[in-house]
Amino acid sequence: MLSFFKDYKYFAIVFLIISLIIVTIIYNILDVEKPLPIYQPAMVNFELVDSTIQHQKKYHKIADFSLTNQNGKTITQADYKDKIYVADFFFTTCQTICPIMTDHMVYIQKELKNDPEVMLLSHTVTPEIDSVPQLKKYALKKGVDDTRWNLVTGDKKQIYDLARKSYLAVKDVEGFDPYDMIHTENFMLIDKKRQIRGFYDGTNPEEIKRLIADIQKLKKDSE
C-alpha cells in the first residue's frame, strides 16, 4: 500500500500543478470580475472618518438627509431611491480642484446621459456662500442637467455630518469652527442600497474612466 502511494506521489503533484494552471487560464479567459467592495469606515483613512465610527466594520450606509438644490427644491434620500449615484463635495468659489472635479462630473453626466439608473449629487461645503441663486448660476454655467444632478446646500452641520459620517469624504480643520472642513478630491460611488462601493480621484481622468466602468459593473451585479 505504501509503495502504491509512493509510486503515484509525483503524479499527484504534477496533476495538481497542471490543474492550477488550467484553472488560472480559464479564469483569465473568462475575465471573471470580483464584485466591487462595500466600504466600511474601518477600511478608510481615519482622517476622513468621524471618530465615533472609525472602527465600524459593517452595516455602513448613507444616512437620511434633507437639503435644497439649485432650483430651491428639497432633495432627500427618496430622490435617489433605487438609483446608483456619484457624490462629491465642492464649493462654487473654489479656484483649485473644484473646477476640474465639476468638469469631470459634467463628463460623467454626458457619458451616462441615456442611463436613468445613474444620478449625481454635489454638496457644497460653504452653504453660507452657496445660496440657491448661487448654485443655480453655477449650474447654468456648467451645463448641469437638473433632472439627473443636484447641487445641494443647507444646514452646515448636516452637510458636515454627511461628509464625515456617511460619505467618509472630508477632513477636519483643527483649531477652527467645529463644522469647518477640508473637502477632498474624492468622488464616491453609491449603490442602490446606499452603500459606498468606490472612491475615485475626481481630478484624474483615468480615475473617471475607472468610475464609469465600475458603474457598469455595479449595474451588472445588481441585475
pLDDT, residue 27, reads: 47
Whole-number CA gyration radius for the chain: 23
Helix 98-111 to helix 132-142 angle (10° resolution) is: 60
pLDDT of residue 121: 98
DSSP-assigned states of every residue in 15-83: HHHHHHHHHHHHHHHHTPPPPPP---GGGS-GGGS-TTTTT--S---PPP-EEE-TTS-EEEGGGGTT-
pLDDT of residue 175: 54
Q: How many CB atoms lie within 10 A of CB 196?
A: 25
Q: What is the pLDDT of residues 140-159, one digit of tens each?
A: 999 999 999 999 999 999 99
Predicted confidence band at 34 (pLDDT cuts at 50, 70, 90)? confident
pLDDT tens-digit readout, 176-218: 565 666 778 999 999 999 999 999 999 999 999 999 999 999 9
The answer to whether the Cα torsion of 199, 201, 202, 204 is positive or negative is negative
* Binding-site residues for Cu cation: 94, 98, 183
Cα–Cα distances (Å) from 58 to 43, 55, 138, in that order, read 10, 9, 37
What residues form the annotated binding site? 94, 98, 183
Q: For the chain, how are helix, strand and coil distributed in percent, rounded to 5?
A: 40, 20, 40
pTM reported for the whole predicted model: 0.83
